[in-house]
Amino acid sequence: MRKQNSNPFILALKARNLTVEIHHHSAYQIVLSNDTPFNTTISGTLYERIHGFLIKPHVPHFCVAEKGTLNVLNIEPYSNVGLELAGRFKENQDYIIFDSPSETNSFFQTPEDSLDAGKIVDAMLTKLTSIDYDERVTKIVECIKANYSEQNITPQTFADIVFLSPSRLASLFKKQTGSSLSKYLLWTRLRQAIYITLSDKDRSLTDIAYDTGFYDLPQLNKYMYEMFGMPPKALKHNSDLIEIY
């Protein structure tokens, strides 16, 4: 047994001069200004000169931050941290607006005037119950980390590694992480695809799709849009994304 020291279900990006078209995605998303206020439209309502927001999955929105830098955190909705965030919303509330840095600090219980993505992630993780992860779950996580690019991975592949049936392993993984094993594999592939897209803009998107375990570029496009609200081409060309955590 050993404790988890990071959360694989959070993808955090730092974006500069970001403008994205209206979209929705399957992840919880936290968007916070690193410097200047920005504008956003959520479910048809315009919010001007705000400092951030937290939004549920599948809620249509877009952002305009042409002169500033944003921290964008995407959280897998059925992970433990995603389920914790879900509990912060009031009934029938789809999003939370932060009009000032102090409101953000108060909500996430972070140090005053600190909008550092790492501190916000740490603050969210402290809300989770401490778990001693089963060594079989840890072994599967390490296996996916090393072999995510292989396209022939199946539930039986993982089950054979830890000598469990696929159904027993699926139940154990979900019980400990909150999310399914297939979603963890998908998030691993998407994180790596985003990292390569941002760090090596000369690489073709088709090659990136193959190299990160997708069957082809259309499949990568599909999951990128579902999870993050934009295809990799838009990520690569339509905004100046400068850092991935």
What confidence tens digit (pLDDT) does each residue in 33-75 have? 878 899 999 999 999 999 999 999 989 998 888 778 888 898 9
CB distance 53 to 31 below 8 Å: yes
**Predicted pLDDT of residue 3:** 34
CB distance 37 to 28 below 8 Å: no
Question: Does domain 2-125 sit in CATH 2.60.120?
Answer: yes
Buried b (16+ CB within 10 A) or exposed e, 45-58: eebeebbbbbbbbe
Chosen CATH of 133-229 out of 3.40.50.300, 1.10.10.60, 3.40.50.2000, 3.30.429.10: 1.10.10.60
**Predicted pLDDT of residue 7:** 65
pTM over 0.75: yes
Mean predicted lDDT score pLDDT of the chain: 87
**Are domains 2-125 and 133-229 of this chain identical in fold?**
no
| Domain ranges across the chain | 2-125, 133-229
**Predicted pLDDT of residue 227:** 83
39 vs 8, more confident: 39
CB distance 134 to 176 below 8 Å: yes
Distances (CA, A) of 158 to 6, 174, 192, 219: 22, 14, 20, 22
Q: What is the number of other CB atoms lying within 10 angstroms of the CB of residue 11?
A: 21
* pLDDT band, residue 245 (cuts 50/70/90): low
